[in-house]
């Protein structure tokens, strides 16, 4: 028997469930091996531990934003193939979300109290991008992921060299984000205008600077 076709109301309920899992529960992961499962961190002093925790907290909130973005786009995407791509990317980003949260807690920290705010904003942006058109939506994904790769490169420069678990997680995230950017562009994503790209960078800076501290 074929599965019942999902209505807009069904998809909305799925998105509510996804939001609750992202913000307050444990997201459904893909089951991929944890990149740091066999690694142990070297000795970290208090300053290094705090730095690593704050950087991984920023990465966690970045994944919260990615969930909001992808779920918003999937909700309003016009083509079923585009919606499927967004949902698959969101599933892979759930791995990152889980890995980052675990590492933040291992380092003695907590995830950001600002996560609900950033999820809501990202969901709204994603829904608007999806409504504008699938090619623009895919272009938004491609540009977002390119900026994330750059941001992860910066974190690799600042993470303590002896924090092997955090570095392994970030390296795997970087590979996945680069793949998502390429896939979105290859699927027909349109390059975004310069003012939009600059606005995205400014928003990302606001997120990273605030979440670093709270």
Determine the longest span between alpha carbons in the chain, in angstroms.
Answer: 59
Asked if residue 154 belongs to a known ligand binding site, the reply is: no
Instruction: Quickly list H helices, the chain.
Output: 8-24, 46-76, 80-106, 115-132, 134-158, 164-186, 194-213
180 is in an annotated binding site: yes
- Report in angstroms the alpha-carbon separations of 189 from 63, 78, 91, 105, 181: 21, 14, 20, 37, 9
CA triplet 34, 39, 44: central angle to 5 degrees? 120
Q: How many residues are there in the chain? A: 214
Q: What is the DSSP string of 194-212?
A: HHHHHHHHHHHHHHHHHHH
**Binding residue per annotation — 63?**
yes
Q: Are 77 and 83 in contact (CB under 8 A)?
A: yes
The whole-angstrom separation of Cα 148 and Cα 10 is 31
Phi/psi zone of residue 28: left (φ > 0), alpha (ψ -120 to 50 degrees), beta?
Answer: beta
93 in a known ligand binding site: yes
User: Residues comprising the binding site?
Assistant: 63, 93, 96, 145, 177, 180
User: Residues comprising the binding site for Fe cation?
Assistant: 63, 93, 96, 145, 177, 180
């Amino acid at each position: 028997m074929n599965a019942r076709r999902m209505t807009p109301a069904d998809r909305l309920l799925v998105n509510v469930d996804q939001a609750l899992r992202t913000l307050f529960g444990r997201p459904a992961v893909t089951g991929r091996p944890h990149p740091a499962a066999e690694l142990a961190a070297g000795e970290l002093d208090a300053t290094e531990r705090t730095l690593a925790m704050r950087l991984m907290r920023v990465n966690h909130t970045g994944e919260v934003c990615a969930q909001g973005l992808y779920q918003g786009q999937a909700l309003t995407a016009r083509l079923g193939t585009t919606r499927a791509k967004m949902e698959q990317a969101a599933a892979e980003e759930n791995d990152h979300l889980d890995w980052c949260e675990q590492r933040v807690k291992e380092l003695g920290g907590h995830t950001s109290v600002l996560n609900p705010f950033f999820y809501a904003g990202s969901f709204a942006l994603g829904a608007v991008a999806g409504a504008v058109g699938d090619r623009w939506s895919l272009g938004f994904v491609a540009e977002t992921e390119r900026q994330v790769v750059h941001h992860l490169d910066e974190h690799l420069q600042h993470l303590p060299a002896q924090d092997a678990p955090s570095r392994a997680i970030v390296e795997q995230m970087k590979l996945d984000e680069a793949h998502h950017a390429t896939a979105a562009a290859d699927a027909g994503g349109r390059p975004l205008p310069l003012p939009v790209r600059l606005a995205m960078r400014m928003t990302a800076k606001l997120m990273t600077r605030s979440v670093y501290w709270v």
